[in-house]
């Protein structure tokens, strides 16, 4: 080591700071086991063996090789950072397209939901109207059925009263009281003059021998009034036809109601599906937004790394590499850069 340092001291054309750099290079190289040295330390050790061949050109060669390798590595780092940034730019573009598609899908789902809701409300309105129409038809049918029963029953009772009960009462048969009671119940339900009802109520209960001229006249008048009512009652056949027509109308209304209920159920199902699609589209839009945010963060990170790598490369090329060019041209400026290279070597190691 002493011989090497003496050789360094003889480099009088190199400044003291330059000679100090050479001493540092030799010490760092020679003190490391040969198998553990990296290539710059190995080169330093080999140079140390040259003794008197030390020169500024050797130093420049050593630094030039190291700096060119560093420049190459920095450029590779920049290239990788650029490729990474380009990858995330493409990824972000894809995520942006996905978000746009998701927003369009959500808008379409909203439009479909509104359309389904309108159809459901319309079908529900139709269903209500068909239900009302069916109720009205059923009410009409019940009315005709009641009237048919009333006509049939009333006509039968009147016919019995005119043909059997009143003759038995007028003749004073042995069972006239039971006939009189039945007639009293009948006249309580039919439309007759109140004066006739009152007079008949008393005369019907009298035995034939107790009846006076007024009672007999009252019973005769009652018999005639019942006969007129019997003739005035419409035919039951007309009411039966009315019932048949009402039943046919109910069948039609019932089918219309069933169709409306089916349509309403179908539109309700479509509305439920549209609601599900809206929720799914909304969720997809949220996921697409999150994915885009993540992609933008990664893009910003990669662009930051690219910018940093580019800055380091630029600083290196404008600093150490420019200095190397000066060292390649020995002259008055050589010693001025020696102290700078000393710091650069330390950084490289």
Selection from 329, 321, 334, 347 nearest residue 68 by Cα: 321
Contact between 15 and 338 (Cβ < 8 Å): yes
Provide the pLDDT for residue 286.
92
Selection from 54, 49, 80, 43 nearest residue 349 by Cα: 43
Kindly calculate the radius of gyration of the chain based on its CA atoms and give it in whole angstroms: 60
Provide the pLDDT for residue 202.
82
187 with 115, same domain?
A: yes
| Cβ neighbours for 312, distance < 8 A, ≥ 6 positions apart | 74, 77
- How far apart CA 213 and CA 95 sit, in angstroms, is 114
What pTM value is reported for the model? 0.49
Could you read off the pLDDT tens digit of each residue along the chain, which spans 349 residues? 565 566 556 555 556 665 666 666 666 666 666 666 665 566 666 655 554 444 445 555 655 666 667 768 878 888 888 888 888 888 888 888 988 999 999 899 999 999 999 999 999 999 999 999 999 998 988 887 777 666 556 777 777 788 888 888 888 787 888 888 888 887 777 777 888 888 888 888 888 888 888 988 888 888 888 888 777 776 667 777 888 888 899 999 999 999 999 999 999 999 999 999 999 998 998 998 998 898 888 888 888 888 887 888 777 767 766 665 654 554 444 444 444 444 444 444 4
- How far apart CA 25 and CA 46 sit, in angstroms, is 11
259 with 306, same domain?
A: no
114 with 31, same domain?
A: no
- How far apart CA 145 and CA 243 sit, in angstroms, is 6
Number of domains the chain contains? 2
Provide the pLDDT for residue 240.
79
Provide the pLDDT for residue 348.
45
Provide the pLDDT for residue 150.
61
- How far apart CA 295 and CA 291 sit, in angstroms, is 6
Long-range contact list for 19-28, CB < 8 A, 24+ apart?
A: 20/342, 21/59, 21/338, 21/339, 21/341, 21/342, 21/345, 22/54, 22/59, 24/342, 24/345, 24/346, 25/62, 25/345, 26/1, 27/1, 28/349
Provide the pLDDT for residue 192.
76
Locus of tokens 């010490």? 27
223 with 318, same domain?
A: no
Instruction: Report residue 295 as tokens.
Output: 């992609």
Boundary-marking domain end, from 259, 288, 317 = 288
112 with 17, same domain?
A: no
306-307-313 Cα angle (round to 5): 90
Q: What is the CATH number of the domain that holds 172?
A: 1.10.287
226 with 328, same domain?
A: no
- How far apart CA 278 and CA 169 sit, in angstroms, is 85
- How far apart CA 333 and CA 323 sit, in angstroms, is 10
Selection from 77, 48, 43 nearest residue 63 by Cα: 43
Instruction: Report residue 120 as tokens.
Output: 């459901």
11 with 26, same domain?
A: yes
84 with 109, same domain?
A: no
- Please report which residue ranges of 31-55 form alpha helices under DSSP H: 39-48
14 with 69, same domain?
A: yes
111 with 240, same domain?
A: yes
Contact between 14 and 56 (Cβ < 8 Å): yes
Provide the pLDDT for residue 224.
85
Provide the pLDDT for residue 135.
93
Boundary-marking domain end, from 258, 288, 318 = 288
Domain boundaries, position 242: 103-288
Boundary-marking domain end, from 288, 307, 330 = 288
Instruction: Report residue 78 as tokens.
Output: 């920049």
170 with 312, same domain?
A: no
Provide the pLDDT for residue 252.
94
124 with 213, same domain?
A: yes
Provide the pLDDT for residue 45.
60
Contact between 337 and 67 (Cβ < 8 Å): no
């Amino acid at each position: 080591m002493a011989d090497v340092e003496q050789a360094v001291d003889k480099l009088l054309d190199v400044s003291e700071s330059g000679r100090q750099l050479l001493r540092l290079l030799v010490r760092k190289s020679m003190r490391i086991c040969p198998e553990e040295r990296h290539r710059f330390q190995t080169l330093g050790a080999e140079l140390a063996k040259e003794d008197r061949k030390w020169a500024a050109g050797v130093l420049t060669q050593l630094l030039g090789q190291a700096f060119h390798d560093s420049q190459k590595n920095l450029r590779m780092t920049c290239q990788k950072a650029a490729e990474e940034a380009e990858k995330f730019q493409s990824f972000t573009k894809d995520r942006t397209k996905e978000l746009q598609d998701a927003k369009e899908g959500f808008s379409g789902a909203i439009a479909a939901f509104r359309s389904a809701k309108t159809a459901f409300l319309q079908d529900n309105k139709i269903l209500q109207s068909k239900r009302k129409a069916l109720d009205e038809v059923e009410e009409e049918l019940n009315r005709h059925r009641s009237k048919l029963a009333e006509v049939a029953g009333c006509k039968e009772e009147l016919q019995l009263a005119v043909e059997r009960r009143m003759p038995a009462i007028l003749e004073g048969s042995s069972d006239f009281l039971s006939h009189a009671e039945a007639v009293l119940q009948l006249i309580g339900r039919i439309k007759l003059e109140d004066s006739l009802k009152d007079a008949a109520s008393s005369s019907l209960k009298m035995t034939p021998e107790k009846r006076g001229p007024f009672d007999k006249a009252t019973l005769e008048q009652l018999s005639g009034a019942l006969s007129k009512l019997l003739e005035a009652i419409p035919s039951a056949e007309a009411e039966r036809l009315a019932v048949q027509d009402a039943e046919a109308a109910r069948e039609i209304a019932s089918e219309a109601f069933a169709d409306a209920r089916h349509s309403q159920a179908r539109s309700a199902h479509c509305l439920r599906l549209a609601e599900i699609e809206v929720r799914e589209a909304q969720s997809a839009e949220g996921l697409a937004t999150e994915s885009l945010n993540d992609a933008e963060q990664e893009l910003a990170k990669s662009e930051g790394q690219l910018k940093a790598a580019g800055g380091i490369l630029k600083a290196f090329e404008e600093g150490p590499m420019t200095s190397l060019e000066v060292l390649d041209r020995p002259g008055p400026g050589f010693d001025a850069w020696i102290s700078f290279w000393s710091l650069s070597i330390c950084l490289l190691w």
